[in-house]
Chain A
């Protein structure tokens, strides 16, 4: 590289949007159909949050070569390739029942490839405590029109669809909402997973009306609109500042070269990670 004293920021930041839109659809976590009444829409599930961590690589201090996470069999004392890895449930110490993908899918075959919206609700009735993990649904070929119709109709009625589906080995309640023209899918916690806070409630006779009124006055003076972009993760900024300083001092180390075929795949991910980190810091400044 011609200019090693600089993180290749500008070039990659410029590419950010392009690489994101190209990359997003391929990151499907789940594919299937979302349906309401007699309308079925082929979709793919993608992440709606990207943890904004600065990503680091574990290196070997002897040669600065990157480390790879591998599964190791303690019995045979050797690395195990992915095709030799199976899933087991421990019924007693050291004794497992093996469960295959097909068996797992057979547990709830009605829900492993379909999200059937049976009812709609008013979004405002859902306490935020129920929200677990947010995703987006992206239409597959041919589903774009009915996808748009569901998004538009829910937007207009301010409703959200409720369904259950199986993601990996877990059955989730899912809330389908309309979000800026897209369908968002948030998994919800089950009612019995929400613990009761009743035991924490303090004695009623704890505060007077006067105290409450003083409190209200103070709150009123601090009321504003929610502007989440004002808050950012400072640790990330500090880490990237530190890295930039070290880059200027040319304090980098170099890893030895290894076989081409392994390298190429890893590199694409690594570069995206760097680009993302740089982009995020720039935005939050």
Chain B
């Protein structure tokens, strides 16, 4: 169990549930540094003035919003502060929706909630949400940022999913995909094939083999061993005219 990130109060109607936020996901990945090819020195980022081509210290940097070619509106740190949300400890639940009602594409991050002091209201809320298959849509301010999220039950504990604002999600129609006519037969075989290849979701089946192999490769290189190079596998795209044939063959294979 990770350390406490933040402490707040879930509130709606006259309900008040004090909770502590904990991380629910931890990622461990190989981290690389950027180096200079000639001397292997670790590189640092530096801000360079486009006009006099020289490094600029932090105290000579300002933030500007561009309004025109080479024209900017300067915003002071105090002005940024004014735009910040008011700090608060309230996780304000505005409404409840069905659990399946929120597309997972909205979920950005998940926190576990641990009861802080009162177990009774926490337990009643977790049990009620679970029983009703409901989740609470809420907003809160944490570390000077305003969040939008979904409060859910997971077993006997409560969980807070940070959601993305809807205008941050790219709509499929903006991809400009063209409609393409398919025959009923093609879609039927495609659907049958998918049904045949359907299994139960077992996430534990998937392990990160790449991470381990990457570490092994680095260790080999560290002791001066040569690394075998492989070309990535490429699959030959199925021609539109051969799609039905490929589907039929696939179905036979799956049977």
Contact = CB atoms under 8 A, between A and B. Distances in A.
Given A39-B250, A86-B34, A90-B33, A25 B176 contact: yes
A32 B84 CA distance: 42
Interface in B25-64: 25-52, 55-56, 60-64
Given A87-B32, A200-B157, A233 B68 contact: no
Contact of B26 (A76, A195, A254): A195
B147 to A, nearest CB: 10
A87 B125 CA distance: 50
A113 B230 CA distance: 12
A190 B206 contact: yes
Given A1-B69, A61-B62, A128-B107, A195 B166 contact: no
Given A20-B174, A59-B61, A228 B165 contact: yes
Contacts of A252: 67-68, 71-73
A190 B208 contact: yes
A50 B170 contact: yes
A254 B68 CA distance: 9
Contact of B125 (A75, A114, A215, A229): A215
A11 interface: no
Contacts of B34: 71, 85-88
B45 A70 contact: yes
Given A57-B72, A79-B46, A224 B36 contact: no
A261 interface: no
Contact of B69 (A85, A162, A267): A267
B65 A216 contact: no
A61 B59 CA distance: 9
Contacts of A253: 64, 71-74
Given A24-B176, A146-B240, A211 B120 contact: yes
B157 to A, nearest CB: 5
Contacts of A76: 36, 38-39, 41
Given A106-B228, A171-B208, A97 B222 contact: yes
Contact of B70 (A110, A144, A255): A255
Contact of A201 (B23, B65, B75, B157): B157
B253 A229 contact: no
A195 B65 contact: no
Contact of A52 (B25, B49, B167): B167
Q: Classify the interface of chain B: helix, strand, loop or mixed.
A: mixed
A181 interface: yes
Given A4-B68, A85-B35, A228-B106, A17 B174 contact: yes
B173 to A, nearest CB: 7
Contact of B169 (A49, A164, A220): A49
Interface string A210-235: 01101110111111111011011111
A36 B193 contact: yes
Contacts of B60: 60-62
A52 B166 CA distance: 10
Given A99-B32, A149-B243, A222-B13, A113 B232 contact: yes
A80 interface: yes
A109 B232 contact: yes
Contacts of B124: 206-208, 211-212, 214-215
B132 A216 contact: yes
A270 to B, nearest CB: 5
Interface in A142-180: 142-150, 152-154, 156-157, 159, 162, 164, 166, 169-171, 173, 179-180
Contacts of A52: 165, 167-168
Contacts of B43: 71-74, 80, 85
4 smallest CB-CB distances across A and B, nearest first, come from A171-B210, A153-B190, A37-B250, A65-B51
14 contacts: A21-B176, A24-B176, A40-B235, A60-B49, A71-B46, A72-B55, A99-B217, A113-B232, A145-B182, A162-B201, A181-B179, A197-B159, A212-B127, A215-B125
Given A39-B250, A253-B74, 17 more contacts: A17-B174, A38-B249, A63-B52, A67-B49, A69-B46, A84-B36, A96-B40, A112-B232, A121-B201, A128-B161, A136-B175, A144-B180, A149-B247, A195-B112, A218-B13, A223-B134, A233-B146
